[in-house]
Amino acid sequence: MSETILDVKDLNVKYGAIHALKGVSFTVAKGEVVSLIGANGAGKTTTLRAISGMLPYAGSVSFRGESLKGVPAHDLIGRGICHSPEGRGVFPNLTVMENIELGAYTRKDRDGIAADIEHCFRLFPRLEERVKQAAGTLSGGEQQMLAMSRALMGRPRLLMLDEPSLGLAPLIVAQIFEIVKKINSEGTTVLLVEQNARMALKISHRAYVVETGKITLSGTGQDLLNDHRVIESYLGA
Amino acid sequence: MEDFIQHLINGVSLGSIYALIALGYTMVYGILQLINFAHSEVYMLGAFAAYYTAIGLGRALGADLEPGIVFFGIVLIVAMAACGVAGLTIERFAYRPLRQAPKLNTLITAIGVSLFLQYTGQVIFGADPKSFPTVLEDRSLVSSGGIDLRLFDVTILLTGVAFMSGLHYLIHRTKTGKAMRAVSTNRQVASLMGINTDKIISMTFLIGSSLAGVGSVLVGMKYPQIDPLMGLFFGLKAFVAAVLGGIGNLAGAVLGGIIMGLSEEMVVAYLSSTYRDALAFGLLIVILVFRPAGLLGKWQTEKV
Ligand SMILES: Nc1ncnc2c1ncn2[C@@H]1O[C@H](COP(=O)(O)OP(=O)(O)OP(=O)(O)O)[C@@H](O)[C@H]1O
Ligand SMILES: [Mg+2]
């Protein structure tokens, strides 16, 4: 496998008395899709938020060899990490286009931005028809497409997606995962957080199982899909 | 009928001053969910900055500086700058350290800053009212059939419209404006877009405060008496105007300001000037009872 770009070591996060992450360690190599799967409250979102500088933590996170500790959230995008948050986080009162443009807030290359907007519309043609619509009026699936487009506008080296399938119909979920695969095949490394373990594992090179703040299993997507513990706990009958 | 039209003109002119100040309340509320009680003192500081600038320039230049549009312009810019700096300073040192604290703490701090500035103002400027120098000579522009259209009212209206249009442009057409709207919707997600939210919050204070500076010069010009407690009632009424329109809503602040100015003018004209200040509180109670979210606001729970 190629070089490691994200290296998370012994990550610990506390919310007051709640010890949400108890020493989470994992790596993501360039070009991979890596998933963190696990049940409600396992600590997946917390992990992404810590990497993004939105929470104080103990332990270390390094990206392309540099420590991210103390780097404020707004500097992450400049280093190549774009984070599409849980619940999508589109700006409901802003138009679809304004949301997309905000994804490129730190960029100044007008031509590159225009080209990337075109690219988003090729990935998600439904957004193009709705550019002037307020983002809050989009369906859940469309909002997810918007959130992903917005994250792509930052030209990420590492795209972090927090539960892109949340609350979406199976057909849309399948589409979204297809597109994650496509984004990855175009060269973007992806760190995916999902409760929908089956879909996530199918498109992942590697994955980690998070349980109550700890990593309990890891392996290739295929291995985990066939692991009896994963089947029992996360894939249903 | 002529009377009524005259009062209409006066009311809209007063209303646009309320609107300018209400915008500052509403912008800060929109971005921090904080009622910035110190805003009325920022407005007071603007009036004093304008006062001392006008006096100083008058002394230094004597007859070379006639009241007129240039004098008015200089004083306006100084007041805006002074208010901008005051607003930035208050945000940086009083509110920013409390960014993670419960909102009630920040609210109490805002009241504290407001009182501090009122009393400091009395110590530094003296408690007695000062008469605002003439920076622009008022005169009648059109006078017919009992209606008197005066330069002050036209100036106030045009200045108000100019700054409000400028603000509208900034908020809706510029990158900074887009960032301001994003931060006011969801600060955490905005930071994931690479937006330095502290900078955008500072920018909001800067802009809102400098609008109060504009208002302070217009008030000084039209009601030429200023004192360190002048923000108390005027600021409160502007705040009520913001609530009336729907706090957090920019168009609401303008609408609320105009309604406030108009009703005050009409109450004084047709009822009694005794009710001038009672009106604001009466309006506040009526809104809180019948339309707590304001005329253009959306109802949201747990905001202050
Ligand atoms: N802001 C917070 N304050 C206190 N506790 C929190 C906070 N956010 C998360 N937690 C707790 O931390 C633990 C991990 O939460 P987290 O959101 O990371 O889980 P998750 O794996 O993303 O779950 P889900 O799949 O439901 O999104 C949970 O026990 C949760 O209750
Ligand atoms: Mg989560």
ipTM: 0.93
Ligand nearest to the CA of A16: 1
The answer to whether the Cβ–Cβ distance between B175 and A105 falls below 8 Å is: yes
Distance from CA of B238 to the nearest CA of A (A): 26
Write the pLDDT tens digit of every residue in A81-95: 999 999 999 999 999
pLDDT higher than threshold 70 for residue B186: yes
> Residue B195 and residue B173: Cα distance in Å, rounded?
17
Distance from CA of B20 to the nearest CA of A (A): 24
Read off the pLDDT of each residue in B10-38 and give the average, rounded to a whole number: 95
Q: Is A167 on the interface with B (CB under 8 A)?
A: no
Write the pLDDT tens digit of every residue in A35-91: 999 999 999 999 999 999 999 999 999 999 999 999 999 999 999 999 999 999 999
Q: Measured in angstroms, how far is the CA atom of residue B32 from the centroid of ligand 2?
A: 26
Compare all CA atoms of chain B with the CA of A150 and give the residue at the minimum distance: B193
pLDDT value at residue A225: 93
A37, β-bridge pairs: A194, A209
Q: Measured in angstroms, how far is the CA atom of residue A143 from the centroid of ligand 2?
A: 17
pLDDT higher than threshold 60 for residue A237: no
Range of lowest pLDDT (A162-166, B203-207, B284-288): B284-288
pLDDT value at residue B302: 37
- Contacts of A94 by beta carbon, 8 Å cutoff, 6+ apart: A102, A134, A135, B178, B181, B182, B185
Q: Measured in angstroms, how far is the CA atom of residue B260 from the centroid of ligand 1?
A: 47
Considering the entire predicted model, what is its pTM? 0.92
Distance from CA of B181 to the nearest CA of A (A): 8
Residue numbers in A near B188 (CB within 8 A): 54, 73, 85, 89
Domain boundaries, chain A: 1-80+159-237, 88-155
Please state, in angstroms and as integers, the Cα–Cα distance from residue B303 to each residue in B78, B102, B292, following that order: 34, 11, 12
Read off the pLDDT of each residue in A200-213 and give the average, rounded to a whole number: 96
Write the pLDDT tens digit of every residue in B229-269: 999 989 999 999 999 999 999 999 999 999 999 999 999 88
Q: Is B298 helix (H, G, I), strand (E, B) or coil?
A: coil
CATH of the domain spanning A1-80+159-237: 3.40.50.300
Residue type, A69: K
Ligand nearest to the CA of A234: 1
Instruction: For A10, list phi and psi in degrees, rounded to 5.
Output: 50, 50
> Residue B51 and residue B107: Cα distance in Å, rounded?
30
> Residue A123 and residue A127: Cα distance in Å, rounded?
9
Chain mean pLDDT for chain A: 95
Q: Has domain B2-290 been given CATH number 2.60.40?
A: no
**Which of B193, B198, B296, B300 to mutate to test binding with chain A, by most A CBs within 10 Å of its CB?**
B193
> Residue A23 and residue B155: Cα distance in Å, rounded?
66
- Per the CB < 8 A criterion, the answer to whether B53 and B75 are in contact is yes
Which among A73, A103, A154 is the nearest to B191, CB-wise? A73
Compare all CA atoms of chain B with the CA of A77 and give the residue at the minimum distance: B194
Residue A2's pLDDT band (cuts 50, 70, 90)? confident
Q: What is the dihedral of CA B150, B263, B3, B157, to 10 degrees?
A: 20
- And the tokens for A91? 């700006």
pLDDT value at residue A1: 54
> Residue B302 and residue B304: Cα distance in Å, rounded?
6
**Which of A51, A54, A75, A91 to mutate to test binding with chain B, by most B CBs within 10 Å of its CB?**
A91
- DSSP classification of residue B136: S
Residue numbers in B near A105 (CB within 8 A): 175, 179, 193-195
